[in-house]
Amino acid sequence: MSPEESLDPENWNEMRRLGHRMVDDAMDYLERVRERPVWQPVGDAAKAALRAPLPVKGQGPAAVYEDFLRDVFPNGMGNIHPRFWGWVIGTGTPFGALADMLASTMNPNIGGGDQGPNYVELQTLSWLREMLGYPADSSGLLVSGGSMANFVGLAVARNAEAQTDVAQEGIASAPRRMTLYASTETHNSVRKAASLLGLGRAALREIPVNDAFRIDLEALRRSIAEDRKAGLHPFCVVGNAGTVNTGAFDALPELADLCESENLWLHVDGAFGALAALSPRLKPLVRGMDRADSLAFDLHKWMYMPYDVGCALVRWPEKHRATFVSPADYLAHLTRGLPAGPIWFSEYGVQLSRGFRALKVWMSLKEHGVAKFGRLVEQNCDQAAYLQSLVEADPELELLAPVPLNIACFRFAPPGMDPARLDEINEEILIGLQESGTAVPSSTILGGRFALRVCICNHRTRREDLDLLVREVLQRGRALAAEPARRS
Amino acid sequence: MSPEESLDPENWNEMRRLGHRMVDDAMDYLERVRERPVWQPVGDAAKAALRAPLPVKGQGPAAVYEDFLRDVFPNGMGNIHPRFWGWVIGTGTPFGALADMLASTMNPNIGGGDQGPNYVELQTLSWLREMLGYPADSSGLLVSGGSMANFVGLAVARNAEAQTDVAQEGIASAPRRMTLYASTETHNSVRKAASLLGLGRAALREIPVNDAFRIDLEALRRSIAEDRKAGLHPFCVVGNAGTVNTGAFDALPELADLCESENLWLHVDGAFGALAALSPRLKPLVRGMDRADSLAFDLHKWMYMPYDVGCALVRWPEKHRATFVSPADYLAHLTRGLPAGPIWFSEYGVQLSRGFRALKVWMSLKEHGVAKFGRLVEQNCDQAAYLQSLVEADPELELLAPVPLNIACFRFAPPGMDPARLDEINEEILIGLQESGTAVPSSTILGGRFALRVCICNHRTRREDLDLLVREVLQRGRALAAEPARRS
């Protein structure tokens, strides 16, 4: 018989030394991030290298690391940089990255069983509940992020409210068409979930918002009443705790009252806004969130943890489990040995095999304590308000939405300029900011106008970074305004 | 204004030193894993420590690491150990764990955009296609694992085959009930997906298997014909490349022919079995897999990568994208700046924010080369065959299923013993093996009999480990057989 081989290193000390080098390089990379451009387009050399053919023979770890250093490391997204404010994207932390190495070293599968990592996830979930003021007897699950957390909450809602056994018999067995309700500002993952769950995107009634981008409660009531009158089956309202465009909060206490009286499931998408609960000052924003039947939020956004980790909490553990449990002979839960243990998380979500994403959450909460996260959430909101004040103080800039949280949407808009030209200039400003490596805001459309969108989920941002942003926007805007229009 | 704070360390050099210590401890942990028990029940002290209240103040990184070393590190699942063969669980590698640290250091969000990590995932997917002989022009996505990969494939199948716009209008808009087909040995994630997608578990027709645990093609044809006759809409067959219980392969070429002639979508669940394609010797097993409309498999199982990473491939990129795309103003794909770039992966799956799981796959494939992974897959199959030969050579042991791949199911069964007593004894053997830290097989039920199930997705296993297993099973079995029955 041939000798057996493994994937372990031939020389463990070399792997140790390589690991030390990686730690040093990683810490240098993070310590000096402020000195580098936020982002740069990926160069042709790296693109070509990343089209190399399938490696048949191995290069060994040291040579692979050189390739990584050359082609990958310098070409990051930039979201670890203090001036990255695009979309809703977190920054990560040095200790969080080290925690991920430890998680992958232990490499447990947290489907369940009597193992330390399972207890770590349980403890983490219990901390997260407490942080957000959500009921202690709710069930929960760490997931890949907000999209999956919304999917989990809405799946439970669908099954719990269907009045027939849709898990077994399918949506077609429901006697009436099921409908759900959310504002037009709701995240696209809710639409995606409605589609995937077999309800259809059309089942999601998109309710208009008021000037503060909050759901119009009267329009919501009307829509529900009309659907009932038409013989449909309204079953769920999705409330927003921090919308993606502007950080608006729907009126959660009123939504909870309405759901109670109308007998509807209340799901709250708190992707980042839920974390306002950590700050004593901002906490009033999330009032009513504790009354949600299910709650989705992220840790990799406004808790600054490395990707990817989000969380779904459900007020009704049995309904939660009933939606995802799927017994099988090979998963028998013996009462002793490894299969024993306090919980099988695989019965509460899509994944059967589950990685140890709980470790970075656990280690980061212990490292800093929840009070510091609360201060940082406030700090980011203060920074958004600071940017608002800079914008409002300048006649060439225009604020495009209220700033209730950590998002400011504005544009360069000197008085008297053609609207189409303004859109063109602001798009060019955005691209220029990104291509020069100065800053990365993203964009959105608000009231038909192209907006520079600055969303601060970044523990490295300082006010001076926002000063620089405003200076750059003005400078670029003025230069562009002096040029002849390109498109018109 | 108050001074701004961040989550970066006050002392970077201390964080570097802590990182070095973690690397050393992680490598020691992995290098010496063979010397430790496979698994041990979690002790009361650790359980108590993991019930501590929410940390309000931070402890700092060094103290947190001490807690980790005391309460978490010694209480792993054990799947990194050479004698762990439970369920279908991979082992991870030292370099893979370091790669995860680098991924979390860069911490990109691979929803899309012009960034190195996006190109890394594209290259990785192209390598995976080539490895498995799947069409080069198919679309693909790294996901959390096989359950999600099955979900993705079946979601695309549902939408592509519905004949109405179910994504928009919901399953209820389909004129006829949609049905899908898979053998009784199919993984429970397929049932879960049918339920979540709104088809209902009842829409999944569970077709009997033959003595080799392969789908009965005649029964399949009959079931499809009956459903058509009853006015239903058969739309998909799920073929198995390596069933979870015994590693059986359905007759994929025949399934592909049947799907072609019946106009059905063929989804192949190749969670671990698909990797047989890497071995020239085993490759004939996956014949026909390249004809699947969608293919699901894991990297964290038989590619030994750290959790969690699996892959979905779809032959029809436009159908794939149409299932998951969901445009939004805040996701506008500008043609320059960061939002440019070759692909938006978030339009091909549930996740909008996506971590850099591609890096460990990319680095590991480059480290070892695909030929070595092929040898290890063969090695695991040879080891399962070796265990089979040990079982067959011993009159006190009974093989309970063929061993086509890397799974051997057997039991202690000295002639003439009462069947219920045999189940009891084998369960006790299993628990004893686990509790003593000797080995971790899992269990299943085959033909009504309690089976010890040894599934080898483990690059650290040696034949000597299987010798030890057989000795221990016999020794424990004989001792238990000599005791009076407990339950009867």
Between helix A94-106 and helix B12-31 the angle, nearest 10°, is 0
At A230-288, the pLDDT tens digits run 999 999 999 999 999 999 999 999 999 999 999 999 999 999 999 999 999 999 999 99
Task: Give yes or no for A186 touching B (CB within 8 A).
Answer: no
The CB density around residue B303, as the number of other CB atoms within 10 Å, is 31
Q: What is the pLDDT of residue A160?
A: 98
DSSP line for A135-157: -TT-EEEEESSHHHHHHHHHHHH
Q: What is the pLDDT of residue B218?
A: 98
| Closest chain A C-alpha to B372 CA, distance in angstroms | 7
Task: Give yes or no for B36 touching A (CB within 8 A).
Answer: no
Q: What is the pLDDT of residue B445?
A: 93
For chain B, the helix, strand and coil percentages under 3-state DSSP, each to the nearest 5: 50, 15, 40
Helix (H, G, I), strand (E, B) or coil at B12: helix
Contact B183, B208 (CB under 8 A): yes
Q: Could you give the residue ranges of the DSSP H alpha helices within B6-50?
A: 12-31, 44-49
Out of B172-186, B330-344, B421-435, least confident range: B330-344
DSSP B172: G
> Kindly report the CA angle at B430 between B400 and B416, in degrees rounded to 5?
50
Q: What is the pLDDT of residue B415?
A: 94
Task: Give yes or no for B257 touching A (CB within 8 A).
Answer: no
Work out the average pLDDT over B460-474: 98
Residue of chain A whose alpha carbon sits nearest to that of B380: A4
Q: What is the pLDDT of residue B488?
A: 45
In this model, does residue B1 exceed pLDDT 70? no
- 8 Å CB contact of A108 and B307: yes
At A417-447, the pLDDT tens digits run 999 999 999 999 999 999 999 999 999 999 8
Q: What is the pLDDT of residue A328?
A: 75
Residue of chain B whose alpha carbon sits nearest to that of A38: B338
At B86-127, the pLDDT tens digits run 999 999 999 999 999 999 999 999 999 999 999 999 999 999
A60 vs B contacts (CB less than 8 Å): 367
Quote the CA–CA distance of A171 and A173 in Å, as a whole number.
5
Contact B113, B276 (CB under 8 A): no
- 8 Å CB contact of A300 and B355: yes
Which among A96, A324, A332 has the least Cβ separation from residue B192?
A324
Contact A181, A223 (CB under 8 A): yes
B199 vs A contacts (CB less than 8 Å): 170-171, 198
The per-residue b/e assignment along B316-339, b for 16 or more CB within 10 angstroms, e otherwise, is beebbbebbebebbbbeeeeebbb
Q: Using pLDDT thresholds of 50, 70 and 90, give the confidence band for residue A1.
A: low
Q: In chain B, which among 406-425 make CB contacts under 8 A with chain A?
A: none
Query: Looking up tokens 């983490």, which residue turns up?
Result: A124
Half-sphere exposure of B437 (CA within 13 A, CB side): 13
Specify the pairing of strand B449-455 against strand A233-240.
unpaired
How far apart, in Å, are the Cα atoms of A479 and each of A151, A413, A425, A475? Answer: 46, 13, 10, 6
Structural element, H or E, at residue A272: none
Which among B334, B339, B366 has the least Cβ separation from residue A55?
B366
At A456-467, the pLDDT tens digits run 999 999 999 999
Residue A291 backbone class (left: φ over 0; alpha: ψ -120 to 50; beta: rest): alpha
Q: Mutate which of B5, B7, B185 to test chain A, going by most A C-beta atoms within 10 A?
A: B7
Contact B247, B404 (CB under 8 A): yes
Of A189, A311, A303, A308, nearest to A238 by C-alpha is A189
Between helix A463-482 and helix A419-435 the angle, nearest 10°, is 130
Q: What is the pLDDT of residue A488?
A: 45
- With the CA atoms of B371, B372, B375 and B381 taken in that order, what torsion angle do they form, in degrees rounded to the nearest 10? -120
Task: Give yes or no for B62 touching A (CB within 8 A).
Answer: no
| Closest chain A C-alpha to B374 CA, distance in angstroms | 10
- 8 Å CB contact of A77 and B106: yes
Work out the average pLDDT over B427-454: 96
Work out the average pLDDT over B23-32: 98
Quote the CA–CA distance of A487 and A423 in Å, as a whole number.
11
Mean residue pLDDT of chain A comes to 96
Of A37, A12, A25, nearest to A70 by C-alpha is A25
Give B44's contacts (C-beta < 8 A, 6+ positions apart): none
Task: Give yes or no for B454 touching A (CB within 8 A).
Answer: no
Contact B178, B158 (CB under 8 A): yes
At B327-384, the pLDDT tens digits run 777 777 778 888 888 899 999 999 999 999 999 999 999 999 999 999 999 999 999 9
Q: Mutate which of A35, A102, A165, A363 to test chain B, going by most B C-beta atoms within 10 A?
A: A102
Task: Give yes or no for A124 touching B (CB within 8 A).
Answer: no
| Burial bucket for residue B419 (CB in 10 Å: 0-12, 13-18, 19+) | exposed
Q: What is the pLDDT of residue A342?
A: 87
Half-sphere exposure of B281 (CA within 13 A, CB side): 12
Specify the pairing of strand B178-183 against strand B84-85.
unpaired
Report field, pTM of the whole predicted structure over 0.95: yes
- 8 Å CB contact of A22 and B166: no
Helix (H, G, I), strand (E, B) or coil at B56: coil
Structure tokens at A289: 């969130």
At B264-284, the pLDDT tens digits run 999 999 999 999 999 999 999
At A296-348, the pLDDT tens digits run 999 999 999 999 999 999 999 999 999 999 877 777 777 888 888 889 999 99
CA-based end-to-end distance of chain B: 76
Mean residue pLDDT of chain B comes to 96
Quote the CA–CA distance of A6 and B459 in Å, as a whole number.
5
Quote the CA–CA distance of A371 and A360 in Å, as a whole number.
17
According to DSSP, the residues that pair with B408 across neighbouring strands are B454
- 8 Å CB contact of B46 and A119: yes
| Burial bucket for residue B488 (CB in 10 Å: 0-12, 13-18, 19+) | exposed
Query: Looking up tokens 């004989």, which residue turns up?
Result: B478
At A131-147, the pLDDT tens digits run 999 999 999 999 999 99
| Closest chain B C-alpha to A261 CA, distance in angstroms | 27
ipTM of the complex: 0.97
Q: What is the pLDDT of residue B145?
A: 97
